[in-house]
Amino acid sequence: MRHAVAETRVPTMSSLLALDAATDAGTCGHKAATLALLRNLGFDVPDGFVIPAGVQASRDDIAAALARLGDGPVAVRSSGLAEDLPDASFAGQYDTLLNVLGAEAVLDAAAACVKSAHDGRIENYGHPVRPMAVLVQQMGCTTRPSQRFDGPECSRAIALRSWACLATATGWRV
């Protein structure tokens, strides 16, 4: 199911950007910019906001952005400026924190994401450390591309999907 795209651009939220407006990979990272593009094309990408690279967000900024998203947990994700490139994906190199609740916890999780770029994994990956933006998105669980839900059913759906993938990969010999 596609989300309704607003007729006007989502404005900047203080130092933060609504995900729909986070289209500049040079400040918002490639992950956020790609997801913003998909949302703007009408795909069902969970809503969120971006802390651009180099921006120190305040607790008030985060609280206002979370209020716009509504109640519920969020995922705090890396969005590196040198991530998801044709010659280097950086898959699994940066931290992502799930089920984060509240402005203080989001600030702590964002700091952990940025810190993960400096813990040695990137140098071991063979690339210099580059700036990182942080993407904060509503949590959700998908069993089909057009269906999203939260709650206890989410764990069951993930388990069933994992079982189906494993069974398919092994020729149903699990």
Name the DSSP letter for residue 55.
-
> Which element (helix H / strand E) includes 113?
helix 103-116
Shortest CA distance to 55 belongs to which of 161, 140, 165, 132?
132
If you average pLDDT over residues 6-23, what whole number do you get? 68
Tokens at residue 56, please? 């120190």
CB atoms within 10 A of CB 125: 13
Name the DSSP letter for residue 88.
B
- 85 versus 78: the higher-pLDDT residue is 78
Q: What pLDDT score was predicted for residue 118?
A: 73
If you average pLDDT over residues 93-119, what whole number do you get? 88
Q: What pLDDT score was predicted for residue 44?
A: 85
